[in-house]
Chain A
Amino acid sequence: MKLSKKLIAVTAALTLATGLVGCSKSTSGGSNGDTIKIGANFEMTGGVAAFGQSQLNAIELAASEINAAGGVLGKQIEIIKSDNASKAEESTRVATKLITQDKVDILMGATTSTNTLAAVQVANDKKVPMVSASATNPNVTFDSKKGKLNEWVFRACFIDPFQGTVMANFSLKKLNAKTAVIFSDNAADYSKGLHKFYKEAFEKGGGKILAEESYQTKDTDFNAVLTRIKSLNPDVIYVPGYYEEVGKIVKQAREMGITVPMMGGDGWDAPQLVEIAGAAALNNTFISNHYSPDDPDPKVKKFVDAYKAKYNAVPDSMAVLGYDGMYMIADAIKRAGSVDKAKVKEALAATKDFVGVTGTLTLDQNHDPVKAAVILEHKDGKQVFYDKVQP
């Protein structure tokens, strides 16, 4: 009894002490210090950890380059990482924590639309500029339910309408498809967005959607729906999902003898896709993406080399977008002339002809970049550059 009382006293004293230390630290290290604090809300664990990790790597690479060149406005960039475990509810919590406890100047993240949407409200309420490098759902920057711009939220990638429209036109014109089936992930905003815009563009171009099927994130058996799709005999199948399920869908489809082209978006872009689906099954599949590492552009080459030197891996599109996103922020701070949140927000909104690795980028009135997309084909497990589509 005595011992436990002592213990309580000691722990209480310790907690108080650490609490005090913590307090004094956070007040002295606020936004008026000599660093610019970027709060990184990313998927470091969970279902799409591959996206979060590679984007975070590229952001750190960009930040270290900027810091080595003297920083922005003479200040060094400091990245404060926080894990949202690939869950929307965690993303909300992490964004709040980064703003209220770590007092960050700017938020970055998350990689997927669902997790980014979960943090949008926080950024708007607390009036902190937030940049998602890869969330492609339109609602991230423009709330279609309220019909209102999300003033504090920006992105560095093209949006779903563009990806869905590009693939619909590609199926109609290049693959001469007349009929299609869409098979999307009903638990992901990203997937639903691509689904909607593919359907609109495909039907507008004179094609016919035979069926719209759906699955849930984490599903493993798709044989039932695929058997149904097979019996409908479409010209193409559009599967705008993420790599883990897509890999299994492609594999199971090919096994049951579905040979028609299958297509998707940038959610397919992860090395695990080839491991799960197998190289042979992926033949005759196409994806829309932000960039290709084989692009002969010298800017792309320089980035790919730097990333390879640091992480010993070929950067995927998540990485290149994160890299561009970080530079976009640095560019805006430079133009704003300070880290004042309102000024940075104005500068971000005015981004024009910013030259990034993925191309020249201008933000429109909805904070959505206008930039080019590439179409890649899988050949024996490798992504091959197929076409570049201007907006």
Chain B
Amino acid sequence: MLDHYKQDYNKQRQQFVLIDQLGLVLEYTGILLPIKKGQNLKELHPFFESLDALLAMPNPEFSFYCVHLDLGTEDLIADIDMVRKKEGMLLVIHDLTEHYNSYQAVAQARNESIINEELIVLKNTELEERERFKNLFIQNFSHELRNPLMSSMAITQILSDTSLSSEQEQLLEVLRDSNTHLKLLLEDTLSISMIASGKLVMKNTLFNLHKMLDLLSFTYKTKAKAKGLQFTYKAAKQVPEYVEGDRLRLYQVLTNLLDNALKYTVKGSVSLTVGFNQQWANKVHLHFEVTDSGPGIPEDKQPTIFETFSQLASPDKQQGTGLGLALVKGLLALMDSTIVLHSATGKGSTFSFDLGLKVPLQSAMQQQIDIGSAATSRKMGSPGRKYKLLLVEDDERVLTVLFKMLMDSDQFYIDVLTDGGEVLETVIQNEYDLILMDINLPNTRGDHITRIIRDFPFKNVKQLPIIGMTAYAYEDHMQAYKEAGMNTVLAKPFDKEELLQNIFMLLHS
């Protein structure tokens, strides 16, 4: 009985076909292939047509695995053995359709996963390359803008110290505003690029949060008034006076949010609120909120407004780079915070974020405040004494304004060089109190000269204070110049006050 079952089973899954040298069916068993005695197998499927060459080969047998024999009605997937017999060629066809179909599903998942992974890697590489190119472009672009902006700012300042008619005063005010605006745009562009390239590092220092918020309140009350808007500022009484965090970046976040609110609000009010969430150990959690009564942001636009170069049309047609909110998002991410937007068309907007800031211990705080006061007191120049400075700068416009700034203070004798290759000899042959030197100098770079000076055997040269000036304002560049031995590095553009403060800080230390 079992033989009967076996025969029946095999009949369903196996077929034996004997063919001659021409491919004609001599005998067959089973029902897998719909064949007839005397039929040429080549007519059944192209697989058999390509066996001609094999029939002429001397090999005693061949095996083909996983052959898809599409016979019109159903797809048979079979292993096919071919064994040479004295009567002709015996074909044994094993139906393994079910087995191979399940294998197909596994192979499909495997291959798709490998291909997807590969495509993701490629996409990422492409995006990284684009990002790198973009950041390099921004870096160079920012560098090229810094020197002319430096000249423009300095000349504006020099002009303001001369006697001007009231009309000229007004024009100068416009120029000053434009300079400030341009400088802020430049800083924002650079910050965005630094965030994207992972070069921006938060600097935690102790600062007076109350003072910073008061300054913001004063500034934006004035700006709002000029636009006919109301400005309100509220801070919870638990907001600590001193905190540790990156003051510059928090200031940048808040000014961007406030500028944005003012820009889009035509009537009504803008407000800044600082709330207290909680304080755990030495960390305070604050809630910052900037609200405006502007036109609001349509829901469909909300997901994209934090992207770089994205901006809505402003009601007063003011231009912008579309960097502000992207910068806010990026800076807050670096501070482990997230910007939240609540807005609806016609109902104004509220941008808010929670921020954890360290509250320093009383003793550490007093120590740092003392250090700060001492530094501030050193910023003043000593009356009566004049210092000898070496000014090294190859950009003629920048050189002119720096020279004028320094001469106007009436505290310096100044030697000027425009070539890095001449600095060492000049320093050895003269006695200077300080060197003010550009980085990107012809022949020998400023940071390279600094390294040589710091390796010099004579103390009067070796310990000479050096202030570097650079239009490459990336933090890693600035750090590298300091590591080369520069005492301070100023990022262009800087103003007269910043320059003199830094000079006297070094001269009196």
* B partners with A: no
* Chain B interface residues toward A at CB < 8 A: none
Q: Which residues of A contact B (CB under 8 A)?
A: none
